[in-house]
Structures are given as structure tokens and as C-alpha cells.
Structure 1
Amino acid sequence: MHLIAKPLLKWFDQFGRHSLPWQASKNSPINPYFVWLSEIMLQQTQVTTVIGYFNNFIRHFPDLTALANADEDAVLAQWAGLGYYARARNLRKCAKIVVTQYQGEFPKEIKAMIALPGIGESTAGAILSISFGQNHAILDGNVKRVLARYHQVKGHYGQSTTLKDLWHLARQYTPDTRNADYTQAIMDLGATLCTRSKPDCANCPLAAHCQAKKHGTQSEYPNLKPKKIKPMRETAMLIYRNKSGGVYLEKRPEKGIWGGLWSLVECENDAKIIAKMIAEFDTSAHIQQKLPMIKHSFTHFHLMISPIIVACTNTSKSFQSIAELKVGLPAPVKKILAQLG
């Protein structure tokens, strides 16, 4: 067993996380559906955040069949707040394919797994390793950080050459035995000790041969992506309300931000354009109140939102009760509607 695997597995047996809700226990065997769901949720999201969403999600969709048969809005409603909503849409699409084409059992070949919606090589490797004990390497954010520090791998892993080097190391260190435990162990190490800031090198089982630890360069690795100033964008959100206090929402297209979620009507934050939009919606409508501006940040830009309450009398439109909403809403829209009571 390699220099990394042996001490890492010894550490994992004593200090690793063994009671996460998607893991096997004495009373329940490993559930590939749980493993797959957790791996998708954990993309771009920390374990502490995922646990609550995971538990809630499986209460609504306890197995692949339930998810495959679910309405898209119902799935997005349980995902709302986790972000990267294409993950939720791909979950449902993937479940449908597994149920209809694979008789409800995940394929056990990595090429077939990668061909499923929303599953890349690292995620496929994790699912096959943890669920079925297959020997596949993984390279999620935690593993990238561990390997980048261990070898002082230069360059940001958004660069193809750096990513290629990290994949080479990941495959090199993946052991032939206890592969499932190793997969979980190296993810746990990155999540609990080899963290982005203030890594706990004193308790790290790999510290003796870690090049970043040896040279005191932990804060330099992984190399940061060159910073870009995020542009600022503006939009107005029109809160059309009827006499009963209901709001008008529209479903966003799948592509783009908040894909597939239900949101308020948006337009350019310009008085003339806003007036035109309101008149087209309801000729007798009028602005009732302008709420404080909200800032919402995405990966590539900041969005300044001007919420505007518009009183309507139009009865031909479909208004929904805020208290009875059961659809997925973008986080800032939730925040806005919460102010209305």
C-alpha cells in the first residue's frame, strides 16, 4: 500500500467521519442512491450545509423511482437554496434514465456512469468506489487541495496542465485494497484538516512528507485563480399583487441563472421601462411601494435588485398565495416575499 494510503486509512479508522446520513451503518447497508445524491449535493457545497438538505430531500424522494416520477417543480422546491440548480434538474433526468434504461440499478461501468446527466469522472469514481468497492480515483475540491499541497503542484487547477497533473497523482495514490474507505478518507482529510485556511498540520497523517508543510507554503497551495473584479448588474423585480395579497410568479427557462425556478417578473431598472411593463401586465395597476435594494452575488457577477410592489386588479392572471407556495424560488425572491407577510 502506498505511502499516502497507509497512514491515511489508519487516521480514517480513528478520526474519519463514519456517521453521515448517506453512509452505511450497522443497521443499514450502503445505498447507492444515497451516495449518488450526496455526491451531487456536495459539489460546490460543504457537508454541514448538505446534511439538512439531504435529510429533507430523501423524506420527499426516498428512492430513485420516487425521484424519477416527481414533478420538476417539486424537486426544485426541495433544492431551493443549494444553488447551481442544473444539479437538481440533472438529478431528476438521471433518475429517469436509471429507472427506465437500467431497471433502477446504477450502471457499474464508469463510462456508462459518466454518460448520465450531471455526473463527471470524479463523481462517477466516488459513486462506484463507495457503493460498489471499485478501484477508481476521485478528484473533488478537497482531494485537489490535499494533493496540491502534498506535492506543491503549481498552477490553478482550472488550467488543463495542472488538472492533468493532479489526476495523475490521484490515480497513482488510489490503492487496490480498501478503495471505498480511501475515497472517503482523502475527502475527509481535505474537509476536516487540510482546509482552505488554517490547515491543522499538527494532526495530519500526511504531514511528514507534505512538501507544503516542509516549506511552510500551505497558504500558497493550491495556487489561487487570478482574481477578476466582478461586474455589477441591476434589475427591477416587479411584485404583482392582487387584492387578496397573492403574487404573480413566472417559471424561468432552464438555461441561465435560477434555471427552472419560479421568480418575479424582471425588467431593466428604468422608470419608463418599468411603467411600460406594468401597463402591459395590467392597465389599471400602479406602484404601491418600492422596497430596499437587495444585493445578490453570483460566481461571476453581483446583482442589485430593486423590488417594486405593484397593486393589480387584473383577474385574468394566475396569482399564488405566498403562504401556500410549494415551488422552488431563488434565494433573493424568498427574501423579498418574506417581507410581504
Structure 2
Amino acid sequence: MHPISKPLLKWFEQFGRHHLPWQATNSSPLGGQATHSDLSYSTSNLQQFAEGKTINPYHVWLSEIMLQQTQVTTVIGYFNNFIQHFPTIKALANASEDAVLAQWAGLGYYARARNLHKCAQIIVEQHQGALPKKFEQVIDLPGIGESTAGAILSISFNQNHAILDGNVKRVLSRYHQVKGHYGQSETLKELWRLAKYHTPNKRNANYTQAIMDLGATLCTRNNPECDRCPLAQHCQAKQHNTQGNHPNPKPRKNKPTRSVAMLIYQNTAGEVYLEKRPKKGIWGGLWSLMECENDEKTIDQAIKKFDKNAKIEQKLSTIKHSFTHYHLMISPIMVTCSKNTEGFRSIAELKVGLPAPVKKIIAQLD
């Protein structure tokens, strides 16, 4: 078996991504909020990065959580905005959940934001506001698994921990022609074995970033650039021209479709009624329009229950919103009412977290 760390680290020095805002050094003029054009890395910068001396652990942790299920290009803007609102772990811990979710809105998978908030509070209460350096303490925090904990500690403190995110799974699956989908326990177990085997004893921060970068930039899901890959010489998928087969695809299932009506209650002042969703389930903890099953009888009953004098004013175009496991067809219905209780909010002054389709619906009302 050929260890991949040496060629990968050599490639990373020249071609790896060294401009991401969470890689900014403490001496950055933007205090860790640098953009692409604000950063230039010399050899000494890279060595500091490898030793984990100048990277802000809070920024690393935040980026790793945001990057779960989300592309780097999308995360950069959210990351910079989040850091502006919550520049320290203490500031995040002291913020309200609504304030945190408001800055997360649109990024999806909202349990990540709620867990991030809980983590910050635990870190302030139990670790004096500093991200702990012990693996057992990090993995014990809400929403942090083995791979995320490994990435945080490796990049922040140059510790020797393997990682296995989606990019790494793809690289290792192709390099070793691993059989099976990584959703299967035996396949995942083999990938973890390989991830730990290839993780070096030195330069762990660089190696962790390098293998993620390789999967994100060259060993991509579609059309991988094998001719530029530093691991091509010994890559089994490259040698057998099976790149498209690895990782083995997950058996496809047809997504079911669910239909709901979203009721846009507006009072005489033009304010919209919103209610906070339960923490569990889709859009957990966000503020949303009231909803019900999309049939005339149920809609009429729901409206009369809310306000017996309310009337349907207009039905807006149906919106399709897709989740991992199903499609949601949303029928927005504008309803005028005389009710003026707590829960009505001015559209112009909304400062709470809203699900993406709800934000789209309300934007049509301006």
C-alpha cells in the first residue's frame, strides 16, 4: 500500500487552497475575516498554518460545521457575515437562538446552528470560552462527530487525527477501489481504516486540508481531473478507468412529494403573522407562516379557527422546495383578517430566521 501523504503535501504547497477566510492568521488586518484578495501566503505562513499556531480555532470549528452538506463557495459569505455578528465564542454563547438562526437562515440543516449555539454555551461554561483541545471533550459537544472533531483538532492544533468527510471518502474510494457505498457499515469501516492508515504523524493540519482540497478541486464527483492529480500514479480507479464507479452509488429511491398550504395572514396594518416552528423537524426553531393540508375544506377550517372574519384574498403561485428525502409543494394563500394579536410582524422590520421558501413568499408582498 502506497501512503499518499508525501505527494499530497507537496501538491498542497503549490496548488492547495490557502485563501479561505477561516485560514486567516491572527495578524490578518481583518482579524480573521479576510477575503481572497486580502490574503497572501508565503512559505513561513504555510509553516505556521501547519503548526496550527496562528489559526483561530473558533473559525475552524465554525467553518467545519457550515461545510457539512454545503459547498465552500456558499459558505464563505455566510461565514464572514456570521463572524461579524458573533466575533467570539462568548458573543455566540450570549446571543439568543433567534439571532443565531437569523444569520444561518438559507444555509439549511438548521440543527447545525442550534447545536453550534449550544456548543458555545458549553464551551463558555465548562472550558473558559476556549475550544477544548482533547478529542474526547470535542466529540462530546452537540453536533460534532468523529470526522468533524478530527478536522477541528488537526487544523487548529496540528493534532494527529484522521478525518472522513465526503471529499475524503471519494478520494479513498477511488484510490483503493473500495467496494460498496459508504452508507454501508462495512464499507465505512474500511474507509476509516484507510483514512487512519494514510494520516501522517507530522504536518497534520496541512494534510487534513490537502486531502479535503483534493476531493473538492480535482477528485470531484463528476469529471475528475486525474491528469493533474498527485495520486494518479497509484490510484486504482485511474488505472482501471473506473472513476465514475467510485464511490459506489447509493441505490436510488424516488422521492415522495408532499403538498401543503401556507397561510399568509395579513392584518389591516399590512403585518404578517408568523409562528416559531418546533425545534425538531424541518426548519427547526425558525419562524414561519402557518400551514395546513392543501385541500379546500382543511384550508377553510384553519382560516376560520384563526379568525372567523378572515377572507382569502389571493392564491399565489405554487413553490417547489426539495429536501433530502422528499419534495414539498407549497401553495401560498394570502388571507386578510382583522385580528391583531401577538405574532404579527412588520415585513420591513423582520429580523428573525425564516425558511428560504417563506422568505421568498414574503418578498412578493413588499
Same topology, TM > 0.5: yes
Decide which moves more: 317-326 or 299-308. Answer: 317-326
- Choose which of 85, 89, 98 in structure 2 pairs with 1:60: 85
Tell me what 1:257 maps to: 282
Displacement of 1:3 in angstroms is 2.9
Secondary structure of 2:345's aligned partner: coil
Decide which moves more: 41-50 or 317-326. Answer: 317-326
One-letter code aligned to 1:60? H
- Choose which of 298, 303, 307 in structure 1 pairs with 2:332: 307
Tell me what 1:23 maps to: 23
Identity of aligned residues (%): 75
1:179-328 alignment to 2 at 5 Å? Answer: 179-328=204-353
Secondary structure of 1:340's aligned partner: coil
One-letter code aligned to 1:3? P
One-letter code aligned to 2:189? K
Displacement of 1:26 in angstroms is 7.7
CA distance in 1 between counterparts of 2:343 and 2:219 reads 51
One-letter code aligned to 1:40? I
**Corresponding position: 1:113 with 2:138:** yes
Kindly provide the CA deviation profile for residues 130-166 of structure 1, in whole angstroms up to 9, marking residues without a partner as x. Answer: 1111100000000000000000101110111000000
1:59-78 alignment to 2 at 5 Å? Answer: 59-78=84-103
- Choose which of 159, 183, 187 in structure 2 pairs with 1:134: 159
Displacement of 1:111 in angstroms is 1.3
**Corresponding position: 1:94 with 2:119:** yes
Secondary structure of 1:310's aligned partner: strand
Residues 295 and 304 in structure 1, CA contact (< 8 A), matched pair in contact too: yes
CA distance in 2 between counterparts of 1:250 and 1:187 reads 40
Tell me what 1:333 maps to: 358
- Unmatched runs of 5 consecutive residues or more in structure 2: 29-53
CA distance in 2 between counterparts of 1:88 and 1:303 reads 22
- Unmatched runs of 5 consecutive residues or more in structure 1: none
Residues 19 and 25 in structure 1, CA contact (< 8 A), matched pair in contact too: no
CA distance in 2 between counterparts of 1:326 and 1:198 reads 42
Residues 68 and 99 in structure 1, CA contact (< 8 A), matched pair in contact too: yes
Kindly provide the CA deviation profile for residues 32-75 of structure 1, in whole angstroms up to 9, marking residues without a partner as x. Answer: 00000000000000100000000000000001000000000110
One-letter code aligned to 2:17? R
Residues 26 and 56 in structure 2, CA contact (< 8 A), matched pair in contact too: no
Tell me what 1:158 maps to: 183
Residues 11 and 205 in structure 1, CA contact (< 8 A), matched pair in contact too: yes
Residues 9 and 181 in structure 1, CA contact (< 8 A), matched pair in contact too: yes
CA distance in 2 between counterparts of 1:248 and 1:311 reads 11
Residues 262 and 291 in structure 2, CA contact (< 8 A), matched pair in contact too: yes
One-letter code aligned to 1:82? L
Residues 102 and 353 in structure 2, CA contact (< 8 A), matched pair in contact too: yes
Displacement of 1:283 in angstroms is 1.2
Secondary structure of 2:107's aligned partner: coil
Displacement of 1:270 in angstroms is 1.2
One-letter code aligned to 1:39? E
Decide which moves more: 102-111 or 280-289. Answer: 102-111
Q: How many residues align?
A: 340
Residues 267 and 339 in structure 2, CA contact (< 8 A), matched pair in contact too: yes
Tell me what 1:4 maps to: 4
CA distance in 2 between counterparts of 1:318 and 1:149 reads 53
CA distance in 1 between counterparts of 2:22 and 2:295 reads 48
Residues 274 and 344 in structure 2, CA contact (< 8 A), matched pair in contact too: yes
- Choose which of 85, 96, 104 in structure 1 pairs with 2:129: 104
Following TM superposition, the consecutive aligned residue runs of length 4 or more in structure 1 with deviations greater than 3 angstroms are none
Kindly provide the CA deviation profile for residues 213-269 of structure 1, in whole angstroms up to 9, marking residues without a partner as x. Answer: 000000110011000000010100000001121100000000000000000000011
TM-score (norm 1): 0.98
